[in-house]
Amino acid sequence: MESASVGPDGPFAARTTENGGAPPEWRAAWQSVLAAFFDHLAYVEGLSRNTLDSYRRDLDQFLAFLSRGRDGEGGRPGRWPRPEAVTREDIRAYLHHLEQNGRKTSTRARRLSALRAFYRYLLEERAIDASPLEFIDSPRLVRPLPSVLSLEETARLVEAPDARTPEGLRDRAMLELMYATGLRVSELIALDLNAVNLELSFVRVIGKGDQERIVPFGEEAKEALSAYLERGRAHLRRRRTAKTAPDGERLFLNARGRPLTRQGFWKIIKAYARSVGIAKPVTPHTLRHSFATHLLESGADLRVVQELLGHRDLSTTQIYTHVSRSALKAVYDRAHPRA
């Protein structure tokens, strides 16, 4: 993957105007405004580090395209637009470049989204009078339906761990809690001990953008968590050494007493899926998809599911209304007088 940076160590620094590289004043102009933009995203909008890194990579790709303006591969030859001088023609040339180089529709849409955010910021700061993204349509995305487990498959999966071992108690608690709450895997592994209230059966989650939400869970998850905390976690914690001591008191620990990682949980759920004969691809997000779909199939309100999942936009949650055609047909058959 191509990468570029306006920093002093980036590829622009190694080029000169004689061999087709970007002029120093052009690099300095972009460096200054991008620094202010990322400060805004971090300290005003409160975006996460992962989101900031994604925006940075996407904008770097656009700068790499502009930096090839003199060799005929980017923009108009010989033209080096400052941030406020980028035109709609430049944006369209960039999108054409991405399409010609085989970039996926989702990639092109994401790169365009980063540019929209950047130029929206310039508009708010009154650095420009109009955005070059006006009248630029986003590539049409065909959103794939999420993979979902049946109720029977879900039961086989969450009941697969061996409760006679500390790891088995941990795995049962994780799978039950994930299916009971629809947590993202990053949210699950980040839970501290004080995030879970067993008495009132809820978990306090810090989601995307550091947004906090309270999610309830049921009896099965409560029993699995209680068993893990009483008989499993202490055994895992005793395996900790001074060299491997974790930071804080994470709820779920690995076999060495350290906090479990996303990669670790991914391997765990894949292994259990294979062990119980689930042929379809199963990832940590599969349980989240199944949680949402099963709630909606049972009549839960879409906005309640949105709140439980931590979605900012209802349209993100609405994809789950298209997953089960059989459930839709069943509702029709029950409700229509001449079904």
Q: Residue 22: enclosing H or E segment and its boundaries?
A: none
Q: Where residue 267 falls among pLDDT bands split at 50, 70, 90? A: very high
184 flagged as catalytic = yes
Known active-site residue 285 = yes
Q: Which of 208, 231, 235, 239 is catalytic?
A: 208
Among residues 127, 130, 15, the alpha carbon closest in space to that of 64 is found at 15
Look at 248 and 185; give whichever has higher pLDDT.
Answer: 185
Q: ∠ CA(77), CA(80), CA(86), 5° rounding?
A: 105
| Catalytic position from the list 97, 184, 233, 294 | 184
Q: Which helix (H) or strand (E) holds 304?
A: helix 302-309
- b or e along 277-311 (b: 16 or more beta carbons within 10 Å of the residue's beta carbon)? ebeeebbbbbbbbbbbbbbbbeeeeeeebbebbbb
Q: Mean pLDDT in the chain?
A: 83
Comparison of pLDDT for 308 and 332, the residue scoring more? 308
The verdict on whether 311 is a catalytic residue reads yes
Q: What is the pLDDT of residue 71?
A: 45
pLDDT at 18 over 50: no
Please report how many Cα atoms fall inside a 13 Å half-sphere around the Cα of residue 261, on the Cβ side: 4
pLDDT band at residue 174 using 50, 70 and 90 as cut-offs: very high
pLDDT tens digits for 327-336?
666 666 777 6
pLDDT at 75: 47
**Distances from the Cα of 221 to the Cαs of 1, 169, 228, 278, in angstroms?**
42, 12, 11, 22
**Per-residue pLDDT for 229 more than 50?**
yes
Mean pLDDT to the nearest integer, 44-60: 91
The pLDDT confidence band at residue 209, using thresholds 50, 70 and 90, is confident
Question: Residue 112's pLDDT band (boundaries 50, 70, 90)?
Answer: very high
What mean pLDDT comes out for the span 269-298?
Answer: 91
Written as six digits, the tokens of 21 are 């590289």
User: Which member of 250, 288, 289, 294 is catalytic?
Assistant: 288
Q: Which domains does the chain have, with CATH numbers?
A: 11-124 (1.10.150), 151-335 (1.10.443.10)
> What pLDDT was estimated at residue 4?
39
pLDDT band at 311 (very low <50, low <70, confident <90, very high): confident
Of 189-193, 234-238, 298-302, the range with the lowest mean pLDDT is: 298-302
Q: Which of 318, 332, 328 is nearest to 146 (CA)?
A: 318
pLDDT for position 11:
36
Of 35-39, 237-241, 260-264, 278-282, which gets the smallest average pLDDT? 237-241
Q: Does the annotation mark 116 as catalytic?
A: no
Query: Which residues, 6 or more positions from 136, have their beta carbon under 8 angstroms from its beta carbon?
Result: 88, 91, 92, 95, 112
For 51-56, what is the mean pLDDT? 93
Pairing of strands 212-216, 196-197: unpaired
For 135-173, write each residue's pLDDT tens digit.
888 777 556 666 889 999 999 999 999 999 999 999 999
